[in-house]
Structure 1
Amino acid sequence: MEAGFCEYPNPFSQKPVHVDLTKAKCIVFWTKNPVPMLKHLKRLDDMGIKYYFQYTLNNYDDTGLEPELKCVEERIRDFQLLSERIGKEKVIFRYDPLILANGMRCAYLMRRVLEVANKVCNYTEKMVFSFADLDYQKVKLNLERKAIEVREFHDYEMETIGELLGKFGREAGVRVATCSERIDLSKYGIEHNRCVDPELILRLTDNDEEVARYLMGNSGQRNLCGCAKSVDIGIYDTCVHNCAYCYATRSVELARANYEKHLSNQQNKSII
């Protein structure tokens, strides 16, 4: 942000794409660990940059699905700390993805989900969830490497989950939405989410007219994605959380190598 630009490789051609940050008005962060960002937020505030966090907070402790994460209780405390620091409207709670692994039953999964949801519902305005997409080849390979067996959700299970989470949302005063899902759960009060949310962005930027015009542009996203127009500067094979269901990491060894590369040159034009 201080340099005024960055680059990221086009995921198809690998050619560098230049991003002008001098006109940036809002940043959406996706994370499972926001703590390292806390010390930088005042700098963004001082620059007049608005932001919010999509915070994925799953409870898959003891399943092998998220082996490099802190325990769920510590991550819940981090969620609460972030919300108290920046405001609950800026922290979106994601239980993403819902996944049935190693014989886990749907009822047991939902007990875990609601246990976390009830501990953070006073620290957020929205909950987002999705059902694990097992069609990605990288996902299949990562699960096979870890010898984790998973299965798809049955339609009736998705309906049951929708009913439970819809009831939770009404009682907790939290909006509940799905991310990139075909299934329509609107009868339970569940909407299709827009993770890059034009309504929230305009709210945070005080209805900035320039931002409004930009958000009206073609997002270029896949059909099921409701996100508004934005620029994603993330790069595959850079996360070291080693989650078994990840679609963005070919191998944890490559991700760790890229992470070390980043640490050795943090002033690089791109993440790595």
Structure 2
Amino acid sequence: MIVSASYRTDIPAFYADWFLRRLEMGHVQVKNPYGGPDTLVPLRGPECDGFVFWTRNLDPFWPALAEVRARALPFVVQFTLTGYPKALEPAVISETRGLDQLRKLVDDHGGRTAVWRYDPVFATDLTPPAWHRETFARLVRALAGSVDEVVLSFAQIYAKTRRNTERAAARHGFAWQDPPTEEKRVLLGDLAEIARSRGLTPSLCSQPELLTDGGLFGGPQPARCIDAGRLSDVARAWGLDGAIAARTKGNRPGCLCAESRDIGAYDTCPHGCTYCYAVRAPDKAKAYRRRHDPQVERLGD
């Protein structure tokens, strides 16, 4: 089983102590976000094959990565770095720190452990298409030779996304939109070309309607964010035995992720990003982080 930690919250940035305690215990209870019984997820072999970590800040998590590797469990880090202004990402670390962390990850654990996410692409008058092209090109230049893939996607506008974005727009005085499909395709094609020009593979996360000719002729290709093949590459690079086998079992249309179990909880990430799909009310997520006890069995309690 591949363990995802977590696309529901940023465990490396905010819950490293909790994760290390659960790792020592060898399992974690996961609350069902849709109701129903908890799930018990193993965090050690042979039931656990490896980890995919999702984060914007690895500084609190370096000891946890070292411990996971010491237990001979391969991992991949999906690291989001966009360079957005504070009005959109009020509590995210600086671009410089993010770049330094990605380079350290690769230096310490190998190039296949790192996947950069320029995700989501968010259309505002603070971040128009020209801004995205310029910012993305700058980040590509900085990361070329360190990472080999960049995952793209446009922001998905759910009801909670719209509500939180409207509040932030009123507070900070910006305008935003969900662009037409063809405009999204054009920008994604431009970003893909910039990535390829520096040797990075551009991929698109779970938005098949935005693919152009399957990603074969200039646009990004479909992403496999939870990638058993990449985890297997990491295992081999570390001298571990055996390939990781997991069937493709996407979470939504167009998702090509391998089957996994996510151990996070919604409404617990205090980064406060305006476009976030995982938090209904940023203030409640911040309040949860303040009262969080690292000894609890499951996140969200």
**Shared fold by TM > 0.5?**
yes
**SS of residue matched to 1:127:** strand
Alignment of 1:127-206 (within 5 A): 127-134=150-157, 136-147=158-169, 148-181=174-207, 182-185=209-212, 186=215, 187-188=217-218, 190-206=220-236
1:27 corresponding residue in structure 2: 51
Which structure 1 residue ranges, 4+ long, deviate > 3 Å from structure 2? none
Q: Is the 8 A contact 1:9 1:15 kept in 2?
A: yes
CA contact (8 A) 1:7 1:16 kept: yes
In the TM superposition, residue 220 of structure 1 has moved relative to its aligned partner by 5.6
- Name the CA shift for 1:94/1:220 in 2 (closer, same or farther; >3 Å): closer
Amino acid at match of 1:241: H
Q: Alignment length, in residue pairs? A: 264
1:229 equivalent among 245, 259, 284: 259
TM-score under structure 1 length normalisation: 0.90
Q: Deviations over 1:34-86 (max 9, x none)?
A: 11111222211111111010000011124x00011122222222222222222
Distance 1:248 1:130 in 2: 16
Which runs of 5 or more residues in structure 2 are unaligned?
A: 1-22
Q: What residue in structure 1 maps to residue 297 of structure 2?
A: 269
Tell me the SS of whatever aligns to 2:77.
strand
Q: Which amino acid aligns with 1:40?
A: A
User: How many Å apart are 1:141 and its aligned residue?
Assistant: 0.9
Verify: 1:242 aligned to 2:272, yes or no. Answer: yes
Corresponding residue of 2:284: 254
CA contact (8 A) 1:131 1:153 kept: no
Report the CA distance between 1:103 and its aligned residue: 5.7
Residue number in structure 2 paired with 1:47: 71
Q: Is the 8 A contact 1:61 1:71 kept in 2?
A: no
Q: Measure, in 2, the Cα distance between the counterparts of 1:73 and 1:14.
A: 43
Q: Deviations over 1:115-172 (max 9, x none)?
A: 11211122101011101111x1110111112125311223443333233233223321
Which structure 1 residue ranges, 5 or more long, are not aligned? none
Q: Distance between the aligned counterparts of 2:64 and 2:204, measured in 1?
A: 30
Map of 1:100 onto structure 2: 123
* One-letter amino acid matched to 1:266: P
**2:8 alignment partner in structure 1:** none
Aligned equivalents of 2:273 and 2:253: distance in 1? 26
> Matched residues, percent identical?
27
Higher RCO, 1 or 2 (CA under 8 Å, sep at least 6)? Answer: 2
Matches within 5 A, 1:69-108: 69-102=92-125, 104-108=127-131
Task: Between 230-239 and 95-104, report the one with greater CA deviation.
Answer: 95-104
Structure-2 change in CA distance of 1:86 and 1:205 (3 Å) = closer
Kept in 2, the 8 Å contact 1:162–1:188? The answer is: no
**How far 1:108 moved relative to its partner?**
2.0
Mapped partners of 1:142, 1:14: distance in 2? 28
SS, match of residue 203 in structure 1: helix
Cα RMSD of the aligned pairs, angstroms, is 1.9
Amino acid at match of 2:193: K
